[in-house]
């Protein structure tokens, strides 16, 4: 079955270049104390250990996006907002010797000194928009136009890296999951992860579509109501499927919005408890915005006997451990 994975998934995405910035396959291991606590075998995919910059799922997407940019002879990359994606992209630009611009509001920069420090270390060029969020897109468009007039070959990075090229990374990740599964003989009945900009889940779903691996991929929404998050995932899965010339199965998209708590980027009590439990039992640090809330869903499902099956895989999507929120 490993051969099946290599032939189907790797051959499908093999022509798309990577910048080779990360260490793959990412570590998957069992959580013995948490498994004992929950009475169910829980495994974890350590995207916080991708071996580049601050880690996390964004580095996966960056690997493909920067590979695409380099293949297209880009010398300048542009994105917006001070996020985990733009911070990791700043480090990737330094590693690849490319100019990198981030468009952000003054207020945003003032409330995130950690981002400022990382941007400064990586010599990122910051383009401030004092008027505020409403003019952010216009300022971004103007900057891209100006850079191109100057003769720069500009590659635009979608905030979060969640476009069809970025989503390829999680088709590859799904291949790593089933490769591990077939080699170890450990089948995962459920795969649980945080979902927000949609690239992670879109890639995982397409990986399942083409490999036919029998599992339930459950995205725990970090911000949007389930129907709105579903629409984001559906649109990106469809566009990526069209890029690859494969069919998608929309019935494989599953979203739960029950664990958002007070709101996006606002910690929930359940999420805080989950973060504490992972640290206390396994020494694993989760952030409270994404993986912490997804972990609270895992605890809820397992504690209520809702994860019927043999083994559950939890994807630790974040590498920032809540330091920047």
Q: Which pLDDT does position 313 carry in this prediction?
A: 98
Does pLDDT of 320 surpass 90?
no
pLDDT digits (tens, 9 = 90+) for 236-284: 999 999 999 999 999 999 999 999 999 998 899 999 999 999 999 999 9
Strand pairing class (254-256; 311-316): unpaired
Q: Which pLDDT does position 132 carry in this prediction?
A: 55
pLDDT digits (tens, 9 = 90+) for 187-239: 999 999 999 999 999 999 999 999 999 999 999 999 999 999 999 999 999 99
The 3-state DSSP composition of the chain as helix, strand, coil percent (nearest 5) reads 50, 15, 30
Does pLDDT of 33 surpass 80?
yes
| Confidence class for position 106, pLDDT limits 50, 70, 90 | confident
Mean pLDDT estimate for the chain:
91
Q: Give me the phi and psi of 77, to 5 degrees please.
A: -120, 145
The answer to whether the CB of 182 falls within 8 A of the CB of 5 is yes
Q: Which CATH topology does 75-152 take?
A: Rossmann fold (3.40.50)
CA distances in angstroms from 214 to 16, 55, 166, 206, 266, listed in the order given? 26, 28, 24, 13, 34
| Confidence class for position 163, pLDDT limits 50, 70, 90 | very high
pTM exceeds 0.85, yes or no: yes
| Confidence class for position 133, pLDDT limits 50, 70, 90 | low
Radius of gyration of the chain (CA): 19
Q: Which pLDDT does position 107 carry in this prediction?
A: 65
Q: What percent of the chain has pLDDT over 90?
A: 74
The answer to whether the CB of 312 falls within 8 A of the CB of 206 is no
Q: Which CATH topology does 2-56+164-316 take?
A: Rossmann fold (3.40.50)
| Confidence class for position 109, pLDDT limits 50, 70, 90 | low
- Domain residue ranges of the chain, discontinuous segments joined by +: 2-56+164-316, 75-152
Using the structure block, give the residue that is written with the tokens 């959580």.
31
Q: Give me the phi and psi of 258, to 5 degrees please.
A: -80, -5
């Amino acid at each position: 079955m490993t051969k099946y994975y290599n032939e189907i998934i790797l051959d499908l995405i093999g022509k798309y270049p990577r910048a080779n910035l990360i260490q793959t396959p990412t570590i998957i291991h069992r959580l013995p104390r948490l498994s004992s606590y929950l009475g169910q075998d829980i495994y974890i995919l350590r995207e916080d250990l991708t071996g580049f910059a601050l880690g996390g799922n964004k580095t996966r997407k960056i690997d493909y996006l920067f590979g695409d940019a380099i293949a297209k002879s880009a010398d300048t990359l542009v994105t917006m907002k001070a996020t985990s994606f733009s911070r990791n992209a700043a480090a990737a630009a330094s590693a690849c010797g490319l100019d990198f611009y981030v468009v952000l509001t003054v207020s945003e920069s003032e409330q995130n000194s950690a981002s400022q420090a990382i941007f400064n270390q990586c010599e990122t060029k910051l383009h401030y928009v004092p008027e505020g969020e409403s003019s952010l897109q216009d300022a971004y468009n103007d900057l891209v136009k100006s850079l191109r007039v100057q003769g720069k070959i500009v590659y635009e990075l979608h905030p979060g890296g969640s476009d069809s090229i970025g989503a390829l990374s999680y088709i590859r990740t799904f291949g790593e999951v089933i490769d591990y599964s077939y080699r170890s003989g450990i089948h995962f009945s459920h795969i649980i992860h945080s979902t927000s900009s949609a690239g992670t889940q879109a890639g995982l779903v397409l990986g399942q579509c083409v490999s036919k691996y029998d599992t339930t991929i459950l995205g725990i929404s970090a911000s949007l109501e389930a129907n709105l998050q579903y629409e984001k995932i559906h649109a990106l899965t469809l566009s990526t499927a069209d890029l690859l010339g494969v069919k998608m199965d929309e019935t494989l998209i599953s979203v739960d919005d029950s664990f958002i708590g007070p709101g996006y980027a606002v910690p929930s009590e359940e999420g805080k408890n989950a973060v504490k439990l992972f640290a206390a039992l396994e020494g694993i640090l989760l952030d409270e915005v994404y993986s912490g809330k997804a972990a609270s869903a895992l605890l809820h499902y397992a504690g209520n006997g809702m994860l019927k099956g043999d083994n559950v895989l939890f994807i630790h999507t974040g590498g920032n451990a809540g330091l920047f929120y």
